[in-house]
């Protein structure tokens, strides 16, 4: 008698606080992935686009896009964490700790740091801290996410609730570790596309990124597969046609990457995402939707020991099927405005 081979995914009962999950499949990222990433989103930040530009300021070569790294690590966690998820609820304490270059092999592990059964007893919330490592064993990325996961059996007993205490924002003192000491005198603002440096931004400033992209099924599917993310809702129309939305759901990471690429128009020198303080996928996104984005500067911060770079905390909002010229976010009643799909709290790094 052989054992069952198909992975059914973990249910809420299968998680325990302290449990460490080593995720499959290690992945060598290459210049091929970087090219496809460019084709899928169109980012124009000079540091990630040009080896010559990156080397001039102190990188070994152009680093891979931070979000390509994030999505790759995230994708690995799906078969172990969220195959039976109902919803991806949030992110926190996400820090990019080391530049990743073409040729680096990434792998991921997650520790369960919290559990809380829902009142309906049909599901519960699982909190994990995920770590991405390169082949030298160095941590390149770390983040917490929490996700609502189905129970196998509503009658099974609830675990003692553990809700981790998460920082409202990453401490500026811990930012910028993925950025080598830069020779900013050699940072060519003209080549980078805009004259604005860290000190040109101020809290309260709102930027309409103006550009927009309409998303196609083939695009989000290719992207999501590139990250080896297997969540069925993104790929299986035959099944989704029977579900709530009647169609495939776009992986939230695709919206993040599109919004980030659009944000070049206004944040051209914010070349690095140092941290994601928090994030919510406010509403689902589907093929055919047109994505716009705008940013609000929440805070500027010096990074201790770094006279080359400074940190900008921004709220990146993605909106679908309406312009961001009026900076849509919330209604009078405090609820998210019609069309808002992403509310992301980032620490960005710019040259000083």
The piece of 154-162, 228-236, 278-286, 330-338 that touches a copy of itself (CB under 8 A) is: 228-236
CB of 301 vs a copy of itself, minimal distance in Å = 17
Buried b (16+ CB within 10 A) or exposed e, 61-94: ebbbbbbbbbbbbbbbbbbbbbbbbeebebbbbb
> Is residue 288 part of the contact set for a copy of itself (CB under 8 A)?
yes
Residue showing tokens 């993605």: 318
> Is residue 214 part of the contact set for a copy of itself (CB under 8 A)?
yes
Q: Which residues pair with 247 in a beta bridge?
A: none
Query: Which residues in 76-115 contact a copy of itself (CB under 8 A)?
Result: 79, 102-103, 105, 107
Among 210, 220, 226, 201, CA closest to 301: 201
What is d(CA 124, CA 87) in angstroms, rounded to the nearest whole number? 11
Query: Which residues in 294-313 contact a copy of itself (CB under 8 A)?
Result: none
Query: Which residues in 136-175 contact a copy of itself (CB under 8 A)?
Result: none
Q: For a copy of itself, which residue of 7, 181, 307, 331 counts as binding (CB under 8 A)?
A: 7
CB of 288 vs a copy of itself, minimal distance in Å = 7
What is d(CA 227, CA 251) in angstroms, rounded to the nearest whole number? 11
Q: Which residues pair with 334 in a beta bridge?
A: none
Nearer to a copy of itself, 6 or 120 (CB): 6
CB of 119 vs a copy of itself, minimal distance in Å = 30
Q: For a copy of itself, which residue of 30, 139, 174, 177 counts as binding (CB under 8 A)?
A: 30
The piece of 139-147, 172-180, 224-232, 309-317 that touches a copy of itself (CB under 8 A) is: 224-232
Q: For a copy of itself, which residue of 10, 15, 49, 63 counts as binding (CB under 8 A)?
A: 49
State the DSSP H helix or E strand holding residue 24, giving kind and residue range, or none if neither.
strand 20-28
């Amino acid at each position: 008698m052989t054992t069952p081979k198909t992975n059914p995914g973990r249910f809420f009962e299968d998680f325990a606080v302290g449990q460490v999950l080593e995720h499959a499949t290690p992945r060598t990222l290459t210049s091929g992935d970087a090219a496809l990433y460019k084709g899928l989103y169109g980012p124009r930040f000079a540091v990630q686009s040009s080896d010559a530009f990156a080397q001039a300021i102190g990188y070994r070569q152009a680093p891979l896009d931070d979000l390509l790294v994030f999505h790759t690590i995230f994708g690995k966690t799906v078969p172990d964490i969220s195959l039976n998820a109902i919803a991806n609820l949030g992110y926190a304490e996400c820090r990019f700790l080391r530049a990743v270059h073409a040729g680096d092999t990434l792998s991921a592990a997650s520790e369960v740091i919290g559990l809380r059964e829902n009142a309906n007893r049909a599901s519960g919330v699982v909190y994990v801290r995920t770590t991405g490592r390169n082949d030298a064993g160095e941590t390149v990325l770390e983040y917490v996410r929490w996700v609502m996961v189905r129970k196998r059996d509503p009658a099974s007993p609830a675990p003692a609730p553990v809700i981790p205490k998460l920082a409202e924002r990453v401490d500026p003192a811990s930012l910028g570790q993925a950025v080598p000491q830069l020779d900013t005198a050699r940072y060519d603002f003209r080549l980078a596309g805009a004259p604005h440096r860290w000190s040109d931004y101020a809290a309260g400033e709102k930027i309409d990124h103006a550009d927009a992209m309409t998303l196609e099924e083939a695009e989000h599917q290719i992207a999501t597969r590139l990250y080896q993310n297997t969540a069925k809702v993104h790929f299986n129309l035959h099944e989704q046609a029977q579900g709530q939305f009647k169609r495939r759901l776009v992986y939230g990471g695709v919206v993040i990457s599109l919004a980030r690429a659009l944000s070049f128009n206004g944040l051209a020198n914010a070349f690095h995402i140092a941290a994601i303080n928090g994030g919510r996928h406010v509403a689902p996104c589907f093929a055919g939707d047109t994505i716009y984005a705008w940013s609000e500067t929440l805070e500027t911060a010096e990074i201790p020991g770094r006279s080359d770079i400074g940190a900008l905390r921004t709220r990146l909002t993605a909106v679908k099927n309406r312009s961001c010229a009026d900076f849509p976010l919330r209604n009078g009643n405090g609820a998210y405005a019609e069309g808002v799909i992403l509310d992301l709290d980032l620490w960005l790094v710019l040259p000083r």
